[in-house]
């Protein structure tokens, strides 16, 4: 992850600049890289180092103190709660990914290939972003009155006579959690996939058609492979957001389901900072492994 932005400052250009301004090449590249490096050090590396350090500390009811104990990790890794929670969180990740990816891909495909005029493309793309004018929380909470026992959805279904009893699973259930995630995060799929699709050379599609490929074959053999970088970037967004979530799961499951983020939030609330830090470290490692695996599947840098 971290090496991407650094590569974005190519050494070749900086040496050219230094010739003009007579700055030595090595100094120019140092200067160019230092603002980002400083920001990353202060806001990323140091906080992570602190979290890792604290995760080995001890704690009691009201205080935590320097120590070097593996107790936090021992409990975390041996507890059945951790495993159940990770399993549950991964279930949310898998379902949310599946739905956001298929909806996101379809929406992007429509925008990129069915809308011919650029003006309309831009206009419809902006329409997709309208929900982002309100906050995450509001978009999520507004599902509650809609899906409730006496909510609009149940009233409507009962009104048209499809059901007699209100559907209970609509709210405070896994269904509600995944629905909210899909609603919140589909745009994070649409944008990068749309971007990838717009870069596909249209002559490739013509060539495929000339060779006698059917529409479906074009989709699976040309468009899908070439949209992979976008799909992967979107997936990284969705996976990291869902893995770290604590508030959506709490509200939409009515506090009845656990997620890794909620466990950490509880630990912080109960002043168990070292335990929370250990959970955070384990979560960070898990997410990094997931991203590493995903980056193995597609070489984003090569294909962008």
Partner 1 sequence: MTEMKKVTTKNGGWSRRAVLKGGAAAVGAAAGSGVLGAPMIWAQEIKDVTLRQFGTGVSNLNEVAQKVKEDLGFTLEMTALDSDSVTQRAATQPNSFDIADIEYWICKKVWGAGNLQAMDTSKIANYDKIVGIFKSGKLTPESVIAQGTAPHTVGFTEGPGSKTFADTETGWMTLIPTIYNADTLGIRPDLIGRPINNWHELLNPEFQGKASILDISSIGIMDMAMVCESMGEIQYGDKGNMTTEEIDKTIAIFTDAKKRGQFRAFWKSFDESVNFMASGEVVIQSMWSPAITAVKSKGIPCVYQPLEEGYRSWGGGLGLSAALSGIELEAAYEYINWYLSGWVGGFLMRQGYYSAVPETSKEFMTENEWGYWFEGKEAVEPIANPFGDVMAQAGEVRDGGSFYERMGSVACWNAVMDENKYLVRKWNEFIAA
Where do contacts with partner 1 occur on this chain (CB under 8 A)? 2-3, 6, 29-30, 33-34, 37-38, 40-41, 45-46, 49-50, 53, 61-63, 75, 79-81, 84-85, 88, 144-145, 148-150, 168, 171-172, 250, 253-258, 262-263, 266, 269-272
DSSP 70-97: -HHHHHHHH-HHHHHHHHHHHHHHHHHH
Q: How far is the CB of 254 from partner 1 (least distance, A)?
A: 2
Q: How far is the CB of 11 from partner 1 (least distance, A)?
A: 10
Q: How far is the CB of 289 from partner 1 (least distance, A)?
A: 19
Per-residue tokens: 209: 């058609």
Judged by beta carbon, residue 95 or residue 263, the one nearer partner 1 is: 263
Q: How far is the CB of 224 from partner 1 (least distance, A)?
A: 32
Count Cα atoms within 13 angstroms, Cβ side, for 11: 5
Judged by beta carbon, residue 49 or residue 224, the one nearer partner 1 is: 49
Phi–psi pair at 279, nearest 5 degrees? -60, -40
Give dist(CA 133, CA 126) in Å, integer: 11
Judged by beta carbon, residue 54 or residue 197, the one nearer partner 1 is: 54
Give dist(CA 94, CA 38) in Å, integer: 36
**99 C-beta neighbours (distance < 10 Å), count:** 19
With CA atoms as reference, report the closest residue to 62 among 274, 271, 276: 271
Q: How far is the CB of 294 from partner 1 (least distance, A)?
A: 20
Give dist(CA 19, CA 233) in Å, integer: 37
Judged by beta carbon, residue 96 or residue 272, the one nearer partner 1 is: 272
Which residues lie below 8 Å from residue 283, measured CB to CB, with a gap of 6+?
243, 244, 260, 261, 264
Q: How far is the CB of 288 from partner 1 (least distance, A)?
A: 16
Judged by beta carbon, residue 4 or residue 204, the one nearer partner 1 is: 4
The SS3 of residue 140 is helix
Judged by beta carbon, residue 147 or residue 197, the one nearer partner 1 is: 147
């Amino acid at each position: 992850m971290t090496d991407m932005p650094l590569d974005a400052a190519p050494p070749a250009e900086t040496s050219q600049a230094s010739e003009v301004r007579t700055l030595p090449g090595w100094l120019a590249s140092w200067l160019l890289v230092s603002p980002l490096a400083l920001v990353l050090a202060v806001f990323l590396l140091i906080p992570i180092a602190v979290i890792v350090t604290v995760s080995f500390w001890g704690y009691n009811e009201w205080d935590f103190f320097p120590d070097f104990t593996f107790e936090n990790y021992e409990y975390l890794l041996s507890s059945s709660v951790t495993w159940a929670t990770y399993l549950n969180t991964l279930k949310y990740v898998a379902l949310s990914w599946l739905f956001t990816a298929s909806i996101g891909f379809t929406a992007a495909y429509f925008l990129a290939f069915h809308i011919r005029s650029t003006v309309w493309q831009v206009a419809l793309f902006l329409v997709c972003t309208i929900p982002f004018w309100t906050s995450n929380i509001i978009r999520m909470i507004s599902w509650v009155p809609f899906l409730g026992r006496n909510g609009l959805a149940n009233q409507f279904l009962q009104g048209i006579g499809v059901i007699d009893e209100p559907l209970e699973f609509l709210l405070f259930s896994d269904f509600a959690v995944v629905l909210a995630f899909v609603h919140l995060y589909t745009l994070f799929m649409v944008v990068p996939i749309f971007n990838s699709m717009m870069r596909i050379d249209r002559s490739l599609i013509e060539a495929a058609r000339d060779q006698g490929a059917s529409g479906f074959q074009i989709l699976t053999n040309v468009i899908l492979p070439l949209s992979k970088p976008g799909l992967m970037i979107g997936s990284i967004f969705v996976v990291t957001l869902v893995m770290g979530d604590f508030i959506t799961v709490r509200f939409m499951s009515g506090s009845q389901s656990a997620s890794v983020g909620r466990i950490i939030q509880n630990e912080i609330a109960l002043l168990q900072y070292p335990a929370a830090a250990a959970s955070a470290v384990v979560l960070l490692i898990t997410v990094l492994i997931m991203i590493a695996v995903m980056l193995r599947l597609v070489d984003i840098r090569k294909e962008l």
